[in-house]
Amino acid sequence: MTKKRKYANFLNDPELARWYHNVQKGALVTGDVYLRTLGLYCFINKTTPEKIIEDAANGGLRRSFMDFVDRQMAGERPKAGSYVVRFKKVLNSWCFFNDVNPNLRSVKIPGANLSPTLYDEEVPSQSAVALVLRNATPRAKAIISLLAFSGLRPESLGNYNGSDALRIKDVEGISIESDGVEFSKVPAAIVVRQVKPTVAQLSKKGHKYFTFIPSEGLKYLSTYLNLRIRTGEKLDKESPLITIAPRGRSKRDNGVVATNDITRDTRYALRKSGFELRPYVFRSYFETALEMAEMKKIIPHNWREYWAGHMGDISARYSTNKVLPPDMREEMRNAFSKCCQYIETEHLTIVEDRNIGTNRKFLMLAGFEKEEIEKMNLEEMPTDELVKLIRERTAKDNQDKYNSQPTNRVEQKVINDNEIPSLLEQGWEFVSSISGGKSIMKKTIMEYKLF
């Protein structure tokens, strides 16, 4: 099922369709973004693509665009310069495609290179990532581990149009048995392939490279793959590492999850854990961990760049960006193993930093009520005392459950998609999407009857 593009009627114009498809040859997503941006500019200014070319030819576009910039950046809800500058890029692209110079170079846009929405975004700590993983579904755990522990981009797990994704064959040393999957190499290399015939690349720069996934990531990945086997899916080397739920197979026959759905899974886990962060922050987490390893002289800089999928400097062209000999790959594997202390989260029992917000979340997960937490001085509370409180509460809860008879009651309901974040915070679980912008949610309620 192909999503209808906004302003798709513009493509009825043969010349505009040629421009759109030409932009798409660089990146599919850029083509769609440029089409929407041109359509929005025409809508706001009550003009047409043809009139834009006409105004550019007689010098009127520069003046009208300067007025447009002033209007966009003033008023009660001013736009950021980084938002406005995209209109300039699109107008330049459309005009130059028609052999007309729009003369917009002299138009200044304050803050064009700034991203105000990312000012306060912090890279999560290891304990914060551990918390998100605890609140994630098996599929989301696999996705998050591939982003946070291997540094993959979401597009590698499912590209923009859902035409390709990393597949089981791209994981080194994996074997599929009747009772599950096994890995012969730990950490295992993951090869991000170069897809020559298409612009919907798995690698942003279009080059082939590999990174590693450590033992914790392999645990989450194997749990997810084994779950797919138990539910009746026939896995083979060509199966996508991440696939859509069985109920959604009719939407895309190849089973590949498009990038939007990959990021949606991780976003749900982040919101459920109380974090207003972008899914892409997991890749920042990976690069920050490698930066720490580089500072400790565990790895050289060009290895860090290579695992993150960067092209690197000119020296990298003649070293890591070539086909690497087996002995260098093994050296990389050994070095990556030493980096895992900064990447993996399983060894964490409680927050070791002084992140008060994260400590509060751990207390809530242990069963403390909000009123109880408010009475605690978390800023000055020693870590060992915090650990003691959580262990005592957990032990008490376990004892209460041991002395009682549990019964489970599952509630399900159909809700609008915009209700999902709030319900996740209330303990509901996402089941699947259905038509009409609705989804199914469920909540397991465990009730205890004392003996």
pLDDT band at residue 86 using 50, 70 and 90 as cut-offs: very high
Give yes or no: residues 64 and 148 share one domain. Answer: no
Q: What is the pLDDT of residue 34?
A: 92
Q: Can you tell me the mean pLDDT for 58-85?
A: 88
With 80 as the cut, is the pLDDT of residue 239 above it?
yes
Give yes or no: residues 108 and 241 share one domain. Answer: no
CATH number at residue 302: 1.10.443.10
pLDDT in tens, 273-307: 888 888 889 999 999 999 989 998 999 888 888 88
Q: Which of 304, 320, 343 is the last residue before a domain boundary?
A: 343
Q: What is the pLDDT of residue 215?
A: 92
Q: Which of 90, 118, 146 is the last residue before a domain boundary?
A: 118
pLDDT band at residue 383 using 50, 70 and 90 as cut-offs: low
Residue 242 included in any domain: yes
With 70 as the cut, is the pLDDT of residue 202 above it?
no
- Which of 20-29, 136-145, 255-264, 307-316 comes out lowest in average pLDDT? 307-316
User: Domain range spanning residue 438?
Assistant: 404-450
- Which of 103-117, 120-134, 181-195 comes out lowest in average pLDDT? 103-117
With 60 as the cut, is the pLDDT of residue 250 above it?
no
Q: Can you tell me the mean pLDDT for 172-179?
A: 85
Q: What is the pLDDT of residue 97?
A: 94
Q: Which of 293, 315, 343 is the last residue before a domain boundary?
A: 343
Q: What is the pLDDT of residue 197?
A: 52
Residue 1 included in any domain: no
Give yes or no: residues 311 and 368 share one domain. Answer: no
Higher pLDDT, 337 or 356: 337
With 50 as the cut, is the pLDDT of residue 147 above it?
yes
With 70 as the cut, is the pLDDT of residue 54 above it?
yes
Q: Can you tell me the mean pLDDT for 60-86?
A: 89
Residue 348 included in any domain: no
With 60 as the cut, is the pLDDT of residue 51 above it?
yes
Q: What is the pLDDT of residue 353?
A: 43
Give yes or no: residues 160 and 246 share one domain. Answer: yes
Residue 56 included in any domain: yes
What pTM was estimated for this model as a whole?
A: 0.67
Give yes or no: residues 187 and 44 share one domain. Answer: no
Q: Can you tell me the mean pLDDT for 327-354?
A: 78
Q: What is the pLDDT of residue 4?
A: 52
Q: Can you tell me the mean pLDDT for 229-244?
A: 86
Q: What is the pLDDT of residue 352?
A: 42
Share of the chain above pLDDT 90, in %: 25
Q: What is the pLDDT of residue 429?
A: 78
Give yes or no: residues 302 and 243 share one domain. Answer: yes
With 50 as the cut, is the pLDDT of residue 19 above it?
yes
Give yes or no: residues 188 and 314 share one domain. Answer: yes
pLDDT band at residue 22 using 50, 70 and 90 as cut-offs: very high
3-state secondary structure the chain: CCCCCCCHHHHHCHHHHHHHHHHHCCCHHHHHHHHHHHHHHHHHHCCCHHHHHHHHHHCHHHHHHHHHHHHHCCCCCCCCHHHHHHHHHHHHHHHHHCCCCCCCCCCCCCCCCCCHHHCCCCCCCHHHHHHHHHCCCHHHHHHHHHHHCCCCCHHHHCCCCCCCCCEHHHECCEEEECCEEEECCCCEEEEECCCCCCCCCCCCCCCCEEEEECHHHHHHHHHHHHHHHHCCCCCCCCCECCECCHHHHHHCCCCECCHHHHHHHHHHHHHHCCCCCCCCHHHHHHHHHHHHHHHCCCCCHHHHHHHCCCCCCHHHHCCCCCCCCHHHHHHHHHHHHHHHHHHCCCCCCCCCCCCHHHHHHHHHHCCCCHHHHHCCCCCCCCHHHHHHHHHHHHHHHHHHHHCEEEEEEEEEEEEEHHHHHHHHHCCCEEEEEECCCEEEEEEEEEEEEEC
Give yes or no: residues 300 and 219 share one domain. Answer: yes
Give yes or no: residues 108 and 135 share one domain. Answer: no
Q: What is the pLDDT of residue 276?
A: 84
Higher pLDDT, 138 or 252: 138
Residue 288 included in any domain: yes
pLDDT in tens, 214-233: 999 999 999 999 988 888 88
pLDDT band at residue 38 using 50, 70 and 90 as cut-offs: very high
- Which of 103-107, 221-225, 443-447 comes out lowest in average pLDDT? 443-447
Q: What is the pLDDT of residue 317?
A: 47
Give yes or no: residues 155 and 203 share one domain. Answer: yes
Q: How many domains does the structure of the chain reveal?
A: 4
Most confident region among 19-33, 86-100, 297-311 by mean pLDDT: 86-100
Give yes or no: residues 305 and 315 share one domain. Answer: yes
Give yes or no: residues 17 and 47 share one domain. Answer: yes
Q: What is the pLDDT of residue 338?
A: 92
Residue 338 included in any domain: yes
pLDDT band at residue 401 using 50, 70 and 90 as cut-offs: very low
pLDDT band at residue 448 using 50, 70 and 90 as cut-offs: very low
Residue 227 included in any domain: yes
Residue 350 included in any domain: no
